[in-house]
Amino acid sequence: MDEDDLKKFCPNCCQLYLMQFTSSKLKCNWPLFLPCGHSMCENCVISVIRCAEPLECKVCFVNTEVTNTEAKDLLGNQLKLHQKFPINVHMVGELTLNFVRTSEVIKKQPEEDPFLDLKTILKDETTEANCLECHETTSKMCKQCDTVMCAACFKRSHMNFVISRTINYS
């Protein structure tokens, strides 16, 4: 596996760092530098500060204390938050590069029709598959769970486990 293929995630919450570009705005969960040099996602940093707990790096276990007055400033002003905990621009560059690469791969793939052509399937009377249990060719399928089974296997094992089709609520 190439190092570029590794997913970047927050060591605190295990969520992937996020950069999504939509037509109207940029949605991000930035990787922020802690004083120890490791990163944690912006959502976790804000959550820990909001709970008035020490910010512990999950990689090296170094605590960063944030005073109550400092916490109010950091939570009220994103610029001050990013001054105390700078954005990991190196990782943001890697995320951007991965985004560009995946966009190029997606553009190169031919678009597939996400729908089944039911008219063709319904007209084709020879539509067959293998039974899930005995692997014999069959054209039968359980109406309730869409499991392909021949009539013999259905009667022998499947019929006893299928939820009753008629439910009486009275």
Residue 98's pLDDT is what?
77
Contact between residue 77 and residue 47 where contact means Cβ atoms under 8 Å apart? no
- Residue 133, domain member (yes or no): yes
Contact between residue 140 and residue 154 where contact means Cβ atoms under 8 Å apart? yes
Average pLDDT along the chain, 170 residues, taken 10 residues at a time: 62 80 70 93 91 90 91 90 92 82 64 54 61 77 69 71 42
- Residue 104, domain member (yes or no): yes
Shared domain for 28 and 91, answered yes or no, is: yes
Residue 148's pLDDT is what?
73
Roughly how many angstroms between the first and final C-alpha of the chain, as a whole number?
A: 59
Residue 156's pLDDT is what?
73
Range of the domain at 151: 118-158
CB atoms within 10 A of CB 46: 17
Shared domain for 75 and 130, answered yes or no, is: no
Q: How many CA atoms lie within 13 A of 35 on its CB side?
A: 10
Shared domain for 34 and 68, answered yes or no, is: yes
Domain count, the chain: 2
Structure tokens at 111: 């678009």
> Coil, helix or strand for 71?
helix
Residue 162's pLDDT is what?
47
- Residue 165, domain member (yes or no): no
Secondary structure element (H or E) that encloses residue 143, with its range: none
- The CATH number that applies at residue 15 is 3.30.40.10
Shared domain for 97 and 144, answered yes or no, is: no
